[in-house]
Structure 1
Amino acid sequence: MKYIAIAVLLGAVAAKKNLKFVDPNAPCHREPATPVLPKVSAPLQATDLPEQHIWNDVNGNNYLTNMRNQHVPQYCGSCWAHAATSAMSDRIKIMRNAAWPDINISPQVLISCEEPDFGCHGGDALTAFEWMSKNEITDETCSIYMGRGHDNGQECSPMQYCRNCNPGEACFVPDEYYIYQTEEYDSVSGEEAMMQELYQRGPIACGIAVPESLEEYTGGIYQDLTGDMDIVHDISVVGYGVENGVKYWTVRNSWGTHWGEEGFFRVIRGINNINIESACSWATVKDTWTEGVTHKTTDEEKNDERNDKVIYDFPQPTFSNNDEFMTVSSGCRVPEAFFPSGEIKNSPHAWDVVSDDELPAIVDWRDMNGKNYVSWNKNQHIPRYCGSCWAQGTTSALADRFNIMYDLKTPTPVALNAQAVINCQ
Structure 2
Amino acid sequence: MKGRCWFFACCRIHWTAGLLLLRIAAAFGSVSDEIKVMADHMVMNDYLKALPHTYVKDLPESFNWGNLSGVSYLTKLLNQHTPQWCGSCWAHAALSSLADRINIARNDISSKHTEINLSIQYVLNCGANVAGSCHGGSATGAYEFIKRNGFVPFDTCMPYIACSSDSNEGFCQHVDTSCSALNTCRTCSSASCDSVKTFPNASIAEYGVYKHSDVTAIKAEIFARGPVAAAVYGPALRYYKGGVYSNDTERKDTTHMVSIVGWGTTSEYPNEAESAKKAYWIVRNSWGQFWGENMGFCRVEMGRNIAGIESHIAWATPRIWSEEKCTAGKEGKVCRMRGQKYVDPSVNVVINR
TM-score, normalised to structure 2, is 0.75
Query: Are 1:31 and 2:37 matched, yes or no?
Result: yes
Query: Are 1:59 and 2:69 matched, yes or no?
Result: yes
Deviation of 1:229 (Å) = 1.0
* Maintained 8 Å contact 1:113/1:150: no
Deviation of 1:19 (Å) = 5.1
Deviation of 1:29 (Å) = 1.6
Query: Are 1:208 and 2:232 matched, yes or no?
Result: yes
Rate the CA distance shift 1:301–1:95 in 2: closer, same or farther, 3 A. Answer: closer
Q: Which entry has the higher C-alpha Rg, 1 or 2?
A: 1
- Counterpart code for 1:271: R
CA distance in 1, matches of 2:231, 2:332: 35
**SS at the partner of 1:281?**
strand
Rate the CA distance shift 1:134–1:286 in 2: closer, same or farther, 3 A. Answer: same
Which runs of 5 or more structure 2 residues have no equivalent in the other structure? 1-23, 268-276, 334-353
Q: 1:140 aligns with which of 155, 169, 183?
A: 155
Deviation of 1:106 (Å) = 1.1
Structure 1 vs Structure 2: percent identity of aligned residues? 37
Q: 2:137 aligns with which of 123, 127, 133?
A: 123
Deviation of 1:35 (Å) = 5.0
Deviations 1:294-337 (A, max 9, x none): 13354x669xxxxxxxxxxxxxxxxxxxxxxxxxxxxxxxxxxx
Q: 2:207 aligns with which of 171, 185, 194?
A: 185
CA distance in 2, matches of 1:35, 1:208: 22
Match of 1:106 in 2: 119
**SS at the partner of 1:164?**
strand
CA distance in 2, matches of 1:121, 1:228: 21
* Maintained 8 Å contact 1:190/1:278: no
CA distance in 2, matches of 1:157, 1:35: 24
Query: Are 1:275 and 2:308 matched, yes or no?
Result: yes
Deviation of 1:68 (Å) = 0.2
* Maintained 8 Å contact 2:181/2:196: no
| RMSD value, Cα | 2.2
- Counterpart code for 1:270: G
Deviation of 1:126 (Å) = 1.0
**SS at the partner of 1:90?**
helix
- Counterpart code for 2:242: G
* Maintained 8 Å contact 1:87/1:205: yes
Deviation of 1:293 (Å) = 6.1
CA distance in 1, matches of 2:38, 2:198: 33
CA distance in 1, matches of 2:113, 2:49: 31
Aligned length: 281
Match of 1:41 in 2: 48
* Maintained 8 Å contact 2:131/2:145: no
* Maintained 8 Å contact 2:44/2:141: no
* Maintained 8 Å contact 2:202/2:319: yes
Q: 1:171 aligns with which of 183, 187, 193?
A: 193
Match of 1:249 in 2: 281
**SS at the partner of 1:205?**
strand
CA distance in 1, matches of 2:313, 2:88: 17
Deviation of 1:61 (Å) = 1.7
* Maintained 8 Å contact 1:164/1:173: yes
Rate the CA distance shift 1:198–1:176 in 2: closer, same or farther, 3 A. Answer: same
Deviation of 1:22 (Å) = 4.3
Query: Are 1:286 and 2:319 matched, yes or no?
Result: yes
Rate the CA distance shift 1:76–1:96 in 2: closer, same or farther, 3 A. Answer: same
**SS at the partner of 1:200?**
helix
**SS at the partner of 2:288?**
coil
CA distance in 2, matches of 1:52, 1:22: 29
Match of 1:404 in 2: none
Query: Are 1:217 and 2:240 matched, yes or no?
Result: yes
* Maintained 8 Å contact 1:87/1:236: yes
TM-score, normalised to structure 1, is 0.62
Deviation of 1:164 (Å) = 0.2
Rate the CA distance shift 1:37–1:120 in 2: closer, same or farther, 3 A. Answer: closer
CA distance in 1, matches of 2:42, 2:214: 19
- Counterpart code for 2:195: V
* Maintained 8 Å contact 2:29/2:238: no
* Maintained 8 Å contact 2:79/2:286: yes
Match of 2:222 in 1: 198
Q: 2:292 aligns with which of 240, 256, 260?
A: 260
* Maintained 8 Å contact 2:232/2:252: yes
CA distance in 2, matches of 1:177, 1:301: 10
CA distance in 2, matches of 1:221, 1:199: 21
Deviation of 1:190 (Å) = 2.6
**SS at the partner of 1:70?**
coil
Deviations 1:402-425 (A, max 9, x none): xxxxxxxxxxxxxxxxxxxxxxxx
* Maintained 8 Å contact 2:131/2:140: no
Query: Are 1:69 and 2:79 matched, yes or no?
Result: yes
- Counterpart code for 2:117: N
* Maintained 8 Å contact 2:29/2:287: no
